[in-house]
Amino acid sequence: MEFVKRVGFIGLGLMGSGMSMNLLKAGFPLTVWNRTRSKMKPLLDAGAEGAGSPREVAERSDVVIDIVTDSPDVEEVLLGPEGVIHGAKPGTIVIDMSTISPAVTRRIAAELAKKDIRMLDAPVSGGAIGARNRTLSIMVGGDAETFQECLPIFQAMGKTITHVGGHGMGQTVKLCNQILVGLNMLAVAEALMFASKAGVDLEKAYAAVSGGAAGSWQLTNNGARLLKGDLEPGFKVKDYLKDLRLIMETAAEIKMPLVGTSVVHQMFRSLDAEGLREKGTQAVIRAVEKLAEAKLLK
């Protein structure tokens, strides 16, 4: 099947702004929509066209991408009164790159299929840096042929692109990813706090462990931010709390105990209670500091 290039993009937040800009750089004609209209301006200045609603985005596109906050937001932009379903032609492909419930994903895919609209769930990992630098990991659920048809689009936004199964499997693998992210971030914060409280030079400790078996993306990126006292978001606490809720809900459905992740969940809930929901996930250091009764940086 000939690959079609008219792409629509819904959701221009921390992730969507960088991802959509990379689609433009790759040469895809792009139509964009965002609830906060001012966030469309950089894309419009770069050559994208603006739309007045998700429905209008779909009317102008062969492939529609959305990346919004939570399951109800995805349902609204895809199935709502001004949603994609009302503007899309038969054969249109919808790629939901949000992180939402696998069960909701399967329900949306079934509704779209009634209108002969194909859907892929393709959540991403790599944060705002990965979105800007085109280094995202993209885990895709849905029909294998549709995945192959959309591969050039994925390659314009990411580096590690994996088809993992049918509808909802992309979301399920993303939740696996988020389990690892949270446990690793907490481990980084605890290890650095341990070194600090024991009187070790933090820079030297960081350099020593980064090159060994403990090395990780979280240590390299968010560990380095912690050494600078930088809590600004690449991925916000409030968004990770949403992912943790989805993880715990799905774990209950499949009867899977998550001991470590339950601890991570409580630590991040404490950050929310302390008013840190807009900070990056590395702000978990604040919860660790409180328990340690000490500060990471003297």
User: What angle, 0 to 180 degrees and rounded to 10, lies between the N-to-C axes of helices 169-197 and 284-292?
Assistant: 40
In the chain, CATH 1.10.1040.10 covers 173-292
Per-residue pLDDT of the chain (298 residues; tens, 9 = 90+): 355 579 999 999 999 999 999 999 999 999 999 999 999 999 999 999 999 999 999 999 999 999 999 999 999 999 999 999 999 999 999 999 999 999 999 999 999 999 999 999 999 999 899 999 999 999 999 999 999 999 999 999 999 999 999 999 999 999 999 999 999 999 999 999 999 999 999 999 999 999 999 999 999 999 999 999 999 998 999 999 999 999 999 999 999 999 999 999 999 999 999 999 999 999 999 999 999 999 999 7
Bridge partner residues of 65 (DSSP): 9, 95
Tell me the CATH number of domain 173-292, given options 3.40.50.970, 1.10.1040.10, 3.30.300.180, 3.30.70.260.
Answer: 1.10.1040.10
Assess whether 197 carries a catalytic annotation. Answer: no
In the chain, CATH 3.40.50.720 covers 7-166
Q: 54: Cβ–Cβ under 8 A, 6 or more apart, which residues?
A: 10, 33, 64, 66, 77, 78, 80, 82, 83, 84, 87
**Per-residue model confidence (pLDDT) at position 1:** 39
* Beta strand 7-10 pairing with 136-141: unpaired
Q: Where are the beta strands (DSSP E) in the chain?
A: 7-10, 30-33, 49-50, 63-66, 93-96, 118-121, 124-125, 136-141, 158-165
Q: Indicate the class that CATH gives domain 7-166.
A: alpha beta
**Per-residue model confidence (pLDDT) at position 19:** 99
pTM check: above 0.75: yes
The active-site residue, picked from 25, 41, 174, 204, is 174
